[in-house]
Structure 1
Amino acid sequence: MMMKECTITKSDQRTHGSRRNNRRLRTRLIAYMASVLLAASMLPAHGDREAAAAEGCRTDNHGIRLTADTSGESPHFTSIQFLNASTGRAAGNGFMLGTSDGGCHWQSIYSGKLDFAQMDFVTNSLGYVLARATPEGPATLLRTANGGASYKPVPNGGNRFARIDFRSALEGFGYAVNDSSAYYTANAGVKWSKLPTPPNTRGTQFFSPKEGWAVALVPGGYQVKRTTDGGRTWTTRLQASSAAGVGGAVYGADSRDVWALLYGGSGMSQTSYSLFHTKDGGASWKQVVSNATAGGGPAPGPAMKAGKLPGPPGRPSDMATPDLRSAYLLTGSGAMDTLSLGRTLNGGKSWRNGSAPTGFEGALSFPAAKSGWLAVTSLTGSAVYATRDGGATWSKTFAIPSD
């Protein structure tokens, strides 16, 4: 049987090659479209993604079990610090927590004997803390290079600090009890230099080794003084009368733009106080708050008609000044288990008082004008709250169950 000869021309070769290429292209295209459709089917719609993200933010203890410290005291928050809108820490008696998504999720960083009085991180990994190893012991200055997991002592030159303020990994300030004296280091605590302060100082804040402010007690009230030469000379920039001067504090985002908080008397769980603001290094001042009370008496400064410049009720607890236009003042009343928050978003031109989550102690951290966090301790537990609208509303991000 003879087979018929078959011949393929060049034209036929081109046709067959084109068909093979087309089949390959169709196969690849079908596979690609199938993968796209499969990926799309696995993603929720935009609204569903937002709902899923919201549902993923916990408001409980995030599965972190916190126990009573060595003295038997229930766990509670004592310090909070956010470096930006996402990264922050909250610490208390025997623990430190961290978040990298604005408080949506928290993780345990440290668990042990340290009772954290203050945190001052300059980067996400490098920070300084004041902490007690025993409930009744003095606060010790410690340094961490791994985000807070472990610590090493920092030399303090024999000084006991009640507050610290590090401006960089190397430069920082330490303040004694009642802010009566200030110290400066340029080498991460290897050496400390005492910065001269006025007699009877009861409030100090340095912004650089040269620029600083002090609140001094004088007969009849207060003097708020400024130095531009590292404390060698001080100039009185504000005088305020007070029948019961006990101390004050200076806050600010810049050495020329500061807030002076002055305390009056206290009584019946009430404290009188005043808040002054300057934008020009003390050449001129505006009294923003004059909060006289029945128990504490007149507020420091010029006599004001009752209710003319009201501040949030209670004793001032903490203040935050994230920039030159915004400032927040937290007050509390232990007897009433009530916190209140006052604020300005326009450099003190107007002031608004509002409520805060229930509690008798609180600590603020505002890394931006309207984004802030509040650590609260109340009679029913301790928790961390977040705000995205300048304190108008608060949402819980972590809660320590009450015993």
Structure 2
Amino acid sequence: MMKRKGFAMLGVMTLSAALFTGIGSASSAEAAAGAEPAAGCRTDSHGLTLKTLPDTGDAHFQAIQFLSPSIGRAAGNGFMIGTSDGGCHWQSIQSSGKYSFNQIQFLTNSVGYALAQTDAAKPNLLLRTANGGSAFKTISTGGNAFNRIQFFSQQVGFGFTQAFTYKTTNAGQTWTKLSTPPNTRYAHFITPDKGWILVFHSGGGYDVKRTVDGGRTWSNKLYVHSEQTSGGMIYGTDSSDIWVVLLGGSGMSQTSYSLYHTADAGEHWKQLISNPTAGGGPAPGPKVDGLTGPFGAPQDMQAIGKKAAYLAASSGAVDQIGIGRSLDDGRTWKNVTGVPGYGGKLSFPAALSGYIATTSSLSGGIYSTVDGGIHWSKKFSIPEPVEK
């Protein structure tokens, strides 16, 4: 295993505290320096052996998060690795094969949360670390099986199931179920009080609703007709600036979908993508020629500030993850160069500098870009053979 000075483990780093205040906190100079490839950067498995949780298949990534263009972690079905130099070198943080990490969210370089399984047949546990991921403590979820979390501080956070949203204000000691409409399928909060939800409309299609009082009341902001409703996702870093992915039908390894954006809290919306497919049928909303998005089913999206957003999509029929972006707050959309693989998780700490972890075990790896997705360089390759 390679060791680089200043990075024995992420949990004991002594780098500048300015880098640990959250995604997007690094200065532009730090961003350029942190993500530029350095001489001697490796693209292989960096000498790491990735043990996997039983019955979860070969090693593959399932989550990635960069706190700055330099400092980040990636985790999968039994392991977590980290870098302090923009992916030039990686080291093991968790390698026991005990946890299959489905989501990681670090508030600082030391304090973070994760959803992980200890058995492929059991629901996620909610975990907390205070030492960068070297050790985790289980936090009570009140008996709820969360498939996604969103923490704003060590005390305040949200846990999401398929249909319900729960909130804690005391670090998970207790959880309160929010009052959300029937058939709510996705929720995203910008602050503990301001949030958005995606609801299956009773007559078909989707409703997008907003709250400014912590979920006590919800106001309608968008209705989109759809012949099929299979779900969607909401993203944003500002309560008025929101991106909504709506899914239509799927078939023949194809998924139909649309992308909507608002910059004024839902008073006006712009449809950026209308992506019907032969296998999935019409995309949600009106068909608009020329608004084609990345090929395949949307896998992940990232919003950076109020200007930039990236969307990754892939299909089992093509060994290529497509990536699209807007750098001007939704005024224009461009599909840019993708990376090999299937399934992708994004992390963009700056508008032009970001990372993608491909979630397939075949050709799985981590790639980075410093020019907004025009070019990608490989930073890590899943090792073969994999120890189990």
Partner of 1:264: 248
Q: Of the candidates 302, 315, 326, which is equivalent to residue 286 of structure 2?
A: 302
Q: Tell me, yes or no, if the aligned pair for 1:337 and 1:379 is still in contact at 8 Å.
A: no
Q: Deviations over 1:298-356 (max 9, x none)?
A: 11112323xx2111110000000011100000001023222100001001111111232
TM-score by length of 1: 0.83
Distance 2:326 2:56 in 1: 40
1:361 to 2:343 alignment: yes
AA aligned to 1:214 is I
Q: Deviations over 1:220-265 (max 9, x none)?
A: 2111111112222211111110000121111001111101111111
Distance 1:122 1:72 in 2: 28
Distance 1:215 1:72 in 2: 30
Q: Tell me, yes or no, if the aligned pair for 1:61 and 1:398 is still in contact at 8 Å.
A: yes
Q: Tell me, yes or no, if the aligned pair for 2:59 and 2:361 is still in contact at 8 Å.
A: no
1:136 to 2:118 alignment: no
Partner of 1:327: 309
Q: Tell me, yes or no, if the aligned pair for 1:198 and 1:214 is still in contact at 8 Å.
A: no
RMSD: 1.4
1:357, CA displacement in angstroms? 1.3
Matches within 5 A, 1:181-330: 181-218=164-201, 219-305=203-289, 308-330=290-312
Q: Tell me, yes or no, if the aligned pair for 2:156 and 2:192 is still in contact at 8 Å.
A: no
AA aligned to 1:130 is L
CA spacing shift, 1:348–1:207, aligned 2, 3 Å: same
Residue 103 of structure 1 aligns to a residue in which SS? coil
AA aligned to 2:356 is L
Q: Of the candidates 81, 92, 95, which is equivalent to residue 111 of structure 1?
A: 95
AA aligned to 2:161 is A
1:157, CA displacement in angstroms? 1.2
Distance 1:235 1:135 in 2: 39
1:195, CA displacement in angstroms? 1.4
Q: Tell me, yes or no, if the aligned pair for 1:337 and 1:378 is still in contact at 8 Å.
A: no
User: Which structure shows the bigger proportion of residues in helix conformation?
Assistant: 1
1:198, CA displacement in angstroms? 1.3
AA aligned to 1:227 is T
Q: Of the candidates 357, 372, 378, which is equivalent to residue 375 of structure 1?
A: 357
1:80 to 2:64 alignment: yes
Q: Deviations over 1:153-174 (max 9, x none)?
A: 1111111100011112221111
Distance 2:360 2:78 in 1: 18
Partner of 1:54: 38
CA spacing shift, 1:69–1:234, aligned 2, 3 Å: closer
CA spacing shift, 1:386–1:247, aligned 2, 3 Å: same
The structure whose Rg is larger is 1
Residue 95 of structure 2 aligns to a residue in which SS? strand
Partner of 2:322: 340
AA aligned to 1:158 is G
Distance 1:313 1:160 in 2: 32
Q: Tell me, yes or no, if the aligned pair for 1:374 and 1:385 is still in contact at 8 Å.
A: yes
In structure 2, list runs of 5 or more residues that go unmatched. 1-36
Partner of 1:46: none
CA spacing shift, 1:292–1:110, aligned 2, 3 Å: same
Distance 1:216 1:378 in 2: 30
AA aligned to 2:39 is E
1:379, CA displacement in angstroms? 5.9
Matches within 5 A, 1:125-164: 125-164=110-149
Residue 357 of structure 1 aligns to a residue in which SS? strand
In structure 1, list runs of 5 or more residues that go unmatched. 1-52
CA spacing shift, 1:136–1:335, aligned 2, 3 Å: farther
AA aligned to 1:197 is T
1:68, CA displacement in angstroms? 4.4
Q: Deviations over 1:258-301 (max 9, x none)?
A: 01111111111111111110011000111111111111111111
Partner of 1:5: none
Partner of 1:95: 79
TM-score by length of 2: 0.87
Distance 2:229 2:168 in 1: 31
Distance 1:281 1:206 in 2: 13
Aligned residues: 347
Q: Deviations over 1:347-372 (max 9, x none)?
A: 11111112321111111001111111
Report which structure shows greater RCO (CA 8 Å, sep ≥6). 2
Residue 292 of structure 2 aligns to a residue in which SS? coil
